[in-house]
């Protein structure tokens, strides 16, 4: 019984996480039909609810463009379908020809996959369910436009919180970074090459989290643009946007750091004793950055923590082996990335760090 309750609870949580998009799609479908029938005057505007649901069904961050793609795809599919079916009739080979020509026309117009697929599906509908005699192609294009615009209107009037997904994905990305920094620190402190290899393997899989973070920011930016009640969130989203690219670079530089740390351990190169402590302090600064961004604060404390941690490596950048020298150089590169994530320019980040000195 306990396992059944857990499974039910899990499914309910999954449903709650999608309840708003489901409600948006349902309202958009019904309202688009109402607008197309009562306002525009079309008796059976089936393209309107289809366009509304498709528009709302795609990932946020693409809806403004998707409305245009839907209308263009419908226009191409309906146009090709109406012309050809009226000339050659309807049947298996006619449907195949219409779909091929409609999708080819969409591709030749430099359209994306959505335009081509919409053109093909529209041509099928024209050739089968609604042949040219059942209604004009222009009416169907208008229906698609109505559905797309209603979908956008529902998104604007019933918007999700643009920061929710951004918070969640930022937590994942910054968590990956702080975990990696601590993992390299522990591997170096314990002279554990196996652990370093594990950290490196995990870092190689971190790009998906970065891509999802960027998609979340695009989602939030779109909501804040089209939903008036969410526009006040744009400033907080802006801080996440400022941090996104430097955090990506910090992960990449940490990946290089982990790879060279692994090489240093395998080659038994001596590593400065201060390195594990510096990396752990970087990880703590990343945690502070995550918390400050989530609260909507300017990340001043994170900036101070990064500068303090980086300052303790300025006198050991020489290193005794090639891999160790690369590791220590990457330590400074990661510091520059993290400072940029707090809102500094690259020049300001470099100037904020103590000057380099070489220990003989």
Give the 3-state DSSP-derived string for 108-158, with helices as H, strands as E and coil as C: HCCCCHHHHHHHHHHHHHHHCCCCHHHCCHHHHHHHHHHHHHHHHHHHHHC
Q: How many CA atoms lie within 13 A of 132 on its CB side?
A: 15
Confidence of residue 334 (pLDDT cuts 50, 70, 90): very high
The DSSP 8-state label assigned to residue 247 in this structure reads H
pLDDT at 177 over 80: yes
Give pTM, 2 decimals: 0.69
**Residue 135 in this model has a pLDDT that exceeds 60:** no
Domain 162-352: top CATH class: mainly alpha
Whether the pLDDT of residue 217 is over 90: the answer is: no
Binned at pLDDT 50, 70 and 90, residue 277 comes out as: very high
> Which tens digits make up the pLDDT trace of 87-118?
787 778 877 887 888 888 777 766 566 677 77
Per-residue pLDDT for 292 more than 90? yes
Q: Where are the domains positioned within the chain? A: 2-157, 162-352
Asked whether the beta carbons of 241 and 220 are under 8 A apart, the reply is no
Tokens of 262: 């692994």
**Cα–Cα distance, 156 to 145 (Å, whole number):** 17
Please provide the average confidence, as pLDDT, over all residues in the chain: 81
Residue with tokens 């801080």: 239
Measured CA to CA, the distance from residue 102 to residue 126 in angstroms comes to 11
Question: Percent of the chain scored above 70 by pLDDT?
Answer: 85
Least confident span in 48-62, 200-214, 277-291: 48-62
Grade residue 122 by pLDDT with cuts at 50, 70 and 90. Answer: confident
Contacts of 78 (CB under 8 A, 6+ apart): 122, 123, 126, 137, 140, 141
């Amino acid at each position: 019984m306990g396992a059944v309750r857990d499974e039910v609870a899990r499914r309910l949580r999954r449903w709650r996480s999608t309840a708003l998009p489901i409600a948006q799609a349902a309202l958009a479908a019904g309202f688009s039909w109402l607008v197309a029938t009562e306002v525009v005057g079309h008796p059976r505007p089936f393209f309107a609810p289809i366009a509304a649901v498709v528009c709302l069904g795609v990932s946020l961050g693409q809806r403004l463009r998707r409305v245009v793609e839907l209308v263009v795809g419908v226009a191409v599919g309906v146009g090709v379908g109406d012309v050809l079916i009226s000339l050659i009739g309807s049947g298996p080979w006619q449907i195949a020809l219409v779909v091929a020509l409609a999708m080819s026309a969409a591709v030749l117009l430099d359209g994306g996959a959505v335009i081509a697929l919409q053109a093909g599906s529209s041509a099928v509908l024209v050739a089968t369910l609604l042949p040219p005699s059942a209604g004009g192609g222009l009416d169907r294009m208008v229906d698609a436009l109505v559905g797309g615009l209603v979908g956008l209107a529902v998104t604007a009037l019933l918007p999700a919180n643009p920061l929710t997904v951004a918070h969640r994905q930022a937590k994942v990305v910054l968590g990956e970074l702080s975990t990696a920094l601590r993992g390299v620190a522990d591997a170096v402190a314990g002279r554990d090459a196996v652990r370093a290899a594990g950290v490196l393997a995990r870092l190689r899989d971190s790009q998906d989290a970065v891509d999802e973070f960027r998609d979340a920011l695009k989602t939030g930016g779109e909501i804040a643009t089209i939903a008036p009640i969410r526009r006040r969130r744009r400033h907080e989203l802006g801080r996440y946007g400022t941090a996104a690219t430097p955090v990506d670079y910090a992960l990449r530089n940490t990946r290089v750091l982990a790879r060279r740390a692994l090489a240093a351990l395998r080659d038994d190169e001596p590593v400065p004793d201060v390195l594990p402590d510096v990396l752990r302090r970087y990880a703590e600064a990343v945690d502070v950055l995550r918390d400050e961004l989530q609260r909507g604060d300017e990340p001043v404390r994170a900036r101070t923590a990064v500068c303090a941690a980086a300052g303790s490596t300025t006198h050991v950048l020489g290193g005794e082996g090639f891999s160790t020298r690369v590791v220590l150089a990457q330590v400074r590169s990661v510091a520059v990335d993290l400072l940029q994530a707090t809102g500094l320019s690259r020049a300001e980040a470099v100037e904020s760090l103590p000057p380099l000195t070489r220990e003989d």
